[in-house]
């Protein structure tokens, strides 16, 4: 048991790497997902096709293979990326493709009357998107984007295969040196779970902030009803 406890700092150092890659890849992913999701709805066919090609390519080939391409194949063409860059690029581009689909769906879910009202007020295409559509779409896209962020966290374990010392990699080395496979992987499981929970909590706080305007009277009365049901001893809501 001591051996496992002594090994914990090693796992924590791995967790730092995992968190770092998750954050950087999430930033890259968001930077891809927003424009690509919106451009997939462009009036211009070429733009639509290019954005679609990005999405289909990165969704249709596995994240692991993409990672190996960046890390093992590109050097053959003289392009050498350090493992961190390769990991962030592969995972960010991959998750960005899924994110683009979420963004596209959320943008399409905003009623067309909103755009028409914006046209009637003579807003430019850009203003309609930025001021009217995106703020409303954001509420619809945050929950699925939260799911993707958790997907991304779990995907990061792949980088252990390109020499990065993340949680999974360090768990392997620890196990090789001290054994205690069960305890070590129980600790690893717990670490991923805690990190995923942190993402959940963060996303839910964000949802509440962004969706404040949505608390219409109806929602409030429904919440009050649920509270009442709780105090009366758990009538299913």
Stretch that binds other proteins, among 66-74, 93-101, 109-117, 223-231 (CB under 8 A): 109-117
Stretch that binds other proteins, among 110-118, 149-157, 171-179, 195-203 (CB under 8 A): 110-118
In angstroms, give the least distance from the CB of 123 to other proteins.
Answer: 6
Stretch that binds other proteins, among 1-9, 146-154, 213-221, 225-233 (CB under 8 A): 213-221
Task: Assess 158 for contact with other proteins (CB under 8 A).
Answer: no
Task: Assess 217 for contact with other proteins (CB under 8 A).
Answer: yes
Pattern of binders to other proteins over 126-145, x per CB under 8 A? -x---xx--xx--x------
In angstroms, give the least distance from the CB of 128 to other proteins.
Answer: 10
Stretch that binds other proteins, among 163-171, 185-193, 211-219, 221-229 (CB under 8 A): 211-219
> First vs last Cα of the chain: how many Å apart?
45
DSSP sequence for the chain:
-HHHHHHHHHHHHHHHHHHHHHHHHHHHHHHHHHHHHHHTT-SSHHHHHHHHHHHHHHHHS-HHHHHHIIIIIGGGGT----HHHHHHHHHHHHHHHHHHHHHHHHHHHS-HHHHHHHHHTT--HHHIIIIIIHHHHHHHHHHHHHHHHHHHHHHGGGGGGGT---HHHHHHHHHHHH--HHHHHHHHHHHHHHHHHHHHHHHHHHHHHHTGGG--HHHHHHHHHHHHHHHTT----
Tally the C-alpha atoms within 13 A of residue 88's C-alpha that lie toward its C-beta: 17
List 6, 124, 182, 221, residue binding other proteins (CB under 8 A) = 124
In angstroms, give the least distance from the CB of 100 to other proteins.
Answer: 22
Nearer to other proteins, 120 or 232 (CB): 120
Task: Assess 208 for contact with other proteins (CB under 8 A).
Answer: no
Residues that bind other proteins (rule: CB under 8 A) add up to a total of 23
**Which chain residues interact with other proteins by CB under 8 A?**
111, 113-114, 116-117, 119-125, 127, 131-132, 135-136, 139, 213-217
């Amino acid at each position: 048991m001591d051996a496992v406890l002594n090994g914990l700092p090693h796992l924590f150092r791995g967790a730092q790497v995992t968190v770092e890659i998750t954050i950087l890849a999430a930033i890259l992913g968001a930077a891809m997902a927003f424009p690509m999701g919106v451009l997939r709805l462009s009036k211009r066919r070429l733009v639509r096709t290019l954005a679609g090609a990005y999405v289909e390519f990165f969704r249709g080939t596995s994240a692991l293979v993409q990672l190996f391409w960046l890390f093992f194949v590109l050097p053959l063409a003289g392009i050498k990326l350090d493992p961190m860059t390769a990991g962030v690029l592969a995972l960010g581009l991959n998750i960005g493709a899924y994110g683009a689909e979420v963004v596209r769906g959320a943008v399409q879910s905003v009623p067309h009357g909103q755009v028409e009202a914006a046209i009637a007020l003579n807003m430019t295409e850009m203003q309609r998107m930025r001021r009217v559509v995106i703020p409303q779409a954001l509420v619809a896209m945050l929950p699925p984007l939260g799911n993707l962020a958790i997907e991304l966290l779990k995907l990061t374990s792949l980088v252990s295969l390109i020499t990065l010392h993340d949680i999974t990699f360090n768990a392997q080395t620890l196990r090789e040196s001290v054994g205690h496979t069960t305890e070590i992987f129980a600790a690893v499981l717990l670490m991923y779970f805690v990190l995923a929970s942190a993402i959940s909590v963060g996303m839910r706080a964000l949802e509440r902030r962004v969706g404040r305007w949505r608390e219409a009277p109806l929602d409030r009365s429904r919440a009050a009803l649920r509270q009442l049901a709780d105090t009366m001893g758990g009538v299913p809501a």
